[in-house]
Each structure stands twice: as structure tokens, then as C-alpha cells.
Amino acid sequence: MGKKENGNVTSCITKSVVKHENSTKVDKIPNGARLGFITIGDGETEVLVYIDCLVFPATSDSGPTFRAIRNGPLKDKPPPGEPRIMRSLLQALQKSVEIATI
């Protein structure tokens, strides 16, 4: 589990069933979540690359906007599983919008 702040968990670390060497860490940030691809060794956690997944509300000119920004020391190289994770996230957001408009 992650650090508790005001009784809420502020981060979550997972290890995927998919074979790859990195774990993921999710943190809440303003307007969305930060998905970090990390390595854990010698009791230290290192964030190699992270993706800020941001959602902005609809405006008079457009509907809700989803934006994903990759950063970190290895930001120029897609982390393992990124395409699958981003597809799943986008599908979940689209379904949430669909449900919210019912």
C-alpha cells in the first residue's frame, strides 16, 4: 500500500502478471493520476518513467479532454506494457463518460 494522507491512500504499487521487469506505482495528482514505471532494488524505489494522465472537463468549445504526458529519465522510450495500459485507461474513461451521460 502507499502513504496515508488525511486517511486516504496516496499511492499504490502493483506488480503485473505480464512478464516485465518493472512494477507500476499510481499517485493522485491534480486533474488525474501519475502512473510510474519503477524498479525496486536494495530497498530503494527508482521511477524510470512516469505518465501523467490528466482529464479536463468539457468547455463550451469541446467535450472532456484526456491528456497523457510521459516524463522521467527514460521518457523517450515507451515503458513495457504502455500501449495496452493506455488503451485500457482510455476505454475506461470513455465508458465513464458514457455512464455519466445516461
Query: For the segment 16-37, what is each residue's pLDDT rounded down to a tens digit?
Result: 444 445 688 889 999 989 999 8
Q: pLDDT tens, 57-78? A: 889 998 888 899 999 999 998 8
The beta strands (E) that lie in 1-102 are given as 4-5, 8-9, 11-14, 23-29, 32-41, 44-56, 65-71
pLDDT-based confidence at residue 5 (cuts at 50, 70, 90): very low
Flag whether pLDDT at 7 surpasses 50. no
In order of 14, 89, 94, the CA distances from 62 in angstroms are 35, 20, 15
Whole-model pTM: value is 0.67
